[in-house]
Amino acid sequence: MATLLSDRATPAHQEHPENTPPPPPRKTGSTARIGATGKVRSVGIVLVWILAAFNVGTLLWVLLTSLRTHRAIFETPWGLPIPPAFENFATALFEGEFGIAAFNTALMTVGGSITLMLLAAPAAYVLARSTRKVSGTIFALFAIGIGVPVQVIIIPLYVMLEQLHLINSLWGLFLALLGANIPFTVILLTGFMRSLPNDLEEAAALDGSSSLRTFWQIMMPLARSGIITLLTLNAINIWNETFLALVLIQDTDKQVLPVALLNFIARQQTNGADYGGLFAGVLVLVLPMILLYIWLGRRIIEGMTLGASK
Amino acid sequence: MALATRAAEHPVRPARHGAAPPRAGRSESPMEKRRRRIFWPLLIPAQLANGILFLGPALASFVISFMRWDGMGEPDMVGFENYSRLLGDSVFHQAFANTLIILLVGGIAVFAVAFGLTMVLREMRGRKFIRNVVFFPVIISPVVLSILWGFIFQSNGLLESAFRGVGIPEGPNWLGDHLFLIIVVGLIWINLGLYVTILMAAVDQIPIYLYEECALAGATAWQRFRYVTLPLTWDVVTAAAVLWTIGSLKIFEFIYAFGGTSADMPPTNVWNSALFIYGKTFGGRTPAFEFGYASAAAVVTVLAVMVFVFALQRATRREPIEY
């Protein structure tokens, strides 16, 4: 996977592998400066650390604030959770219906990302390996989907799902999520599979392995790294997806987390504000992503930057 | 879109062994024969999902843009009426302008700051850590980021109480008077990490000896950037620019959550095209369900941005530099 990014960072690099120098060693003490020097550099370094501190600080602030009572937050947003108000999480999970929403979101995330992979991996394999003319056209049909925002397809999608009685249904949301994410999944996986060597498959074919078996037993293990990356990226996309759920789901017991959060804020306008419960809800939505990021961070970063560096 | 055009340039991978593409009458390797047999069976499920759930609706949007329809009754074909209505709709003008401001002003700012950070980060201790920290908003729900960003600037929020703490009594009414500015700065903050990472990966590929030569020649920091860094990362920068363009069209939640609740839209002067589409169909306390009109807005926006991407690619095309 490490090669996934570095091999493709520049097209010139990719087209002439024999000319490429090894990755530049980072010489310490070299006179060669790449970026700014002197004062500009010092100012830059200070700004970079301020930005980093801001991001870490925001996260810590959410963590601390989710354990403070509404009254304490309202008096001053700066403060420590002494004593910690764990009842915020009870409020969020039960009154705010974040519990059921978290379950729905997890269901969509796991079901959606696995189904997307089951659909996309076989297609990506034939698109990556086929030499037929039609495969270029089909690839382009998937590629269109990357450039078209989901707001453009939502109206016909809504009408279609309504006729199937799938509005306000998790099945309807599931189908919409598949449609919204299939182009991106197929395109990135095709790109990844193209970069894999052909030799093993040829050897398998010579040994009389059927194509399906070659796909399943040779290609899938070879492409494991790309598959895990795309499973992760789709999981992140679906976990955070708001727009489709906002349009397609109305009942609170079928809602997903980001919309439950918006609903919680809406209810505060009539029931009185509860910042403690709000930030507990924020944490329910954010924490799984943070943990995933700590676990698979390098893979996520490489996968997301792949689109541009290809 | 970058992917699309690149795919069009190299639609199929050249066959191995110098074999001609399989055609009737030509001999093909046993492996290719076998692959032909699984071509459609493996492709069709994904193809159906794409066709029914994405391409079909995208085409239908185009057709609906010529109708007056609330999604329930019979649609009326009205020709270009929706489009001419857009021409006179100041709310749409504002939304379209905001989309372009996010695309251009936001984009230039993101790339300038990202390049600046990359230049500083390349020779800095803790660069991996910083990169990971700057990147993390990219994977956080935009709704959450929007709530946090709002909490900083709202009255009695983090900024105001910090100001009060150091003795500055009253700041401006940020969310009331400068909401769109706050939104654009927020969008730069949450997207920065992605572009820093992309540029860092590209800059890391530049061999160090080029900079050593710069040092010998006595080049300034700006000259190093202008004559080494920028030309050698140009392909990545243009691809990233297309990525930003596409991404900026999809921005919705971050702005929407500034409406404060699940039912209320934010004020129309901060709408972008995505919010306009939502606001004219499903959004607000009494949804308008103007499916035809919203579809026309979608078509106009996508076409305008497609033209922009095409122009961007034409304008930035260069011979690849080999090094």
Tokens, residue A164: 């199937």
> For residue A161, what pLDDT is reported?
95
Distance from CA of A125 to the nearest CA of B (A): 8
> For chain B, what is the domain count?
1
Q: What residues in B contact A215, CB-CB < 8 Å? A: 38, 42
Which of A151, A213, A217, A287 is best to mutate for the B interface (most B CBs within 10 A)?
A151
Q: What percent of chain B has pLDDT over 70?
A: 87
Residue A310 has pLDDT above 70, yes or no: no
How does the average pLDDT of chain B come out, rounded? Answer: 84
Task: Please give the residue that has the higher pLDDT: either B313 or A286.
Answer: A286
d(CA A177, CA A116): 9
**Range with lowest mean pLDDT among A180-184, A232-236, B44-48, B308-312:** B308-312
- Could you tell me how many CB contacts below 8 A there are between chain A and chain B? 403
Calculate mean pLDDT across residues A223-227. 90
Q: What is the CATH number of the domain that holds B85?
A: 1.10.3720.10
pLDDT more than 90, % of chain B: 43
Q: Average pLDDT for residues B210-214, to the nearest whole number?
A: 87
pLDDT over 50 at B107, yes or no = yes
Residue of A nearest to B14 (CA): A131
Query: Is pLDDT above 80 for A301?
Result: yes
Q: Has residue A7 got a pLDDT over 60? A: no
- Does residue B73 have a pLDDT over 60? yes
What crossing angle do the helices spanning B30-50 and A98-129 adopt, rounded to 10°?
A: 150
Question: A90 to chain B, minimum CA–CA distance in Å?
Answer: 19
Which residues neighbour B299 within 8 Å (Cβ) at sequence distance 6 or greater? A152, B61, B62, B65
**Domain range enclosing B239:** 81-315
Contacting residues of A for B234, CB less than 8 Å apart: none
Predicted confidence at residue B235, as pLDDT, reads: 86
Q: Give the per-residue pLDDT at A23.
A: 52
Q: Please name the member of B47, B116, B262 whose beta carbon is closest to the beta carbon of A44.
A: B116
pLDDT band at A11 (very low <50, low <70, confident <90, very high): very low
Q: Give yes or no for residue A9 having a pLDDT over 70.
A: no
How confident is the model at residue A142, as a pLDDT?
94
Structure tokens at A213: 């078996």
Mean pLDDT of A197-202: 84
Q: Shortest Cα distance from B177 to chain A (angstroms)? A: 22
Q: Which helix (H) or strand (E) holds B299?
A: helix B291-315
A82, with CB counted inside 10 A (0-12, 13-18, 19+), is exposed
- Looking at residue B170, what is its pLDDT? 66
User: Is B76 inside a domain boundary?
Assistant: no
Compute how many other C-beta atoms are within 10 angstroms of the C-beta atom of residue A20: 18
Verify whether the Cβ–Cβ distance A77 to B132 is below 8 Å.
Answer: no
pLDDT of A16 above 60: no
Instruction: Provide the Cα torsion B136, B141, B142, B145; round to 10°.
Output: -60
Query: What would the DSSP string read from start to end of B130-163?
Result: HHHHHHGGGGS-HHHHHHHHHHHHSTTSHHHHHH
User: What confidence score (pLDDT) does residue A6 get?
Assistant: 36
CA distance B293 to A256: 29
Longest dimension (CA), chain A: 75
Chain A positions in Cβ-Cβ contact with residue B252 (cut-off 8 Å):
151, 242-243
Give the Å distances, CA to CA, from A168 to A5, A160, A248, B262.
40, 13, 6, 16
B19 belongs to a structural domain? no
**Position with higher pLDDT, A209 vs B88:** B88
| Chain B CB contacts of A140 below 8 Å | 4, 7-8, 11
B11 lies in some domain: no
Does A12 sit within 8 Å of B136, measured CB to CB?
no
ipTM: 0.84
**pLDDT tens digits for A140-195?**
999 988 889 999 999 999 999 999 999 999 999 999 999 999 999 999 999 899 88
Which homologous superfamily does the CATH classification assign to the domain defined by A97-309? MetI-like (1.10.3720.10)
Other Cβ atoms less than 10 A from the Cβ of A78: the count is 13
Mutate to test the interface with B, among A71, A142, A148 (most CBs of B within 10 A): A148
Per-residue confidence (pLDDT) for residue A47, from 0 to 100: 86
On whether residue B175 sits in a domain, the answer given is yes
| Cα→Cα distances A264→A44, A89, A282, B267, B278, Å | 40, 13, 11, 20, 21
What residues in A contact B256, CB-CB < 8 Å? 242
Half-sphere exposure of B79 (CA within 13 A, CB side): 2
- What is the spatial distance between Cα A169 and Cα A244, in angstroms, rounded to a whole number? 12
Reported as a pLDDT band with limits 50, 70 and 90, residue B143 is very high
As a whole number, mean pLDDT of residues B40-68 equals 94
Find chain A residues with C-beta within 8 A of B1's C-beta. 143, 146-147
pLDDT for the residue numbered A265: 83
Mean pLDDT within B36-48: 89
Pairwise CB contact (< 8 Å): B134 & A52: yes
Does B31 fall in a domain?
no
B22 pLDDT band, cuts 50/70/90, is very low
Task: Tell whether B90 is covered by a domain.
Answer: yes
Test A265 with B221 for CB contact under 8 angstroms: no
Q: Is the pLDDT assigned to residue A60 strictly greater than 70?
A: yes
Beta-bridge partner residues of B76: B68
Q: Which of A31, A155, A211 sits opposite B215 (nearest CB)?
A: A31
A28 pLDDT above the threshold of 50 = no
Which chain B residues have a beta carbon less than 8 Å from that of A19? Answer: 322-323
Statement: residue A33 has pLDDT above 70: no
Cβ-Cβ contacts under 8 Å for B227 (sequence gap 6 or more) = B214, B219
Q: Write out pLDDT tens, residues A69-113.
A: 777 777 777 777 777 777 778 777 777 688 899 999 999 999 999
Nearest beta carbon to residue A24 from set B54, B132, B206 = B206
- CA torsion, ordered A135, B7, B14, B320, to nearest 10 deg: 180
State whether A286 and B203 contact (CB < 8 Å): no
**Cβ separation B274–A176 shorter than 8 A:** no
Question: Which residues in chain B are contacts of A51 at CB distance < 8 A?
Answer: 117, 134, 192
Q: In what helix (H) or strand (E) does residue A177 lie, and over which residues does it extend?
A: helix A170-194
Torsion, Cα of B116, B119, B122, B126 (10° steps): -30
Q: Is the pLDDT of residue A134 over 60?
A: yes
Query: A64: pLDDT confidence band, cut at 50, 70 and 90?
Result: confident
Instruction: Answer yes or no: do A9 and B309 touch at CB < 8 A.
Output: no
For position A159, what pLDDT does the model report? Answer: 94
Q: Which H/E stretch holds residue B9?
A: helix B2-9
C-alpha to C-alpha distance for B254 and B149, rounded to whole angstroms:
9
What CA–CA distance (Å, rounded) separates B142 from B187? 9
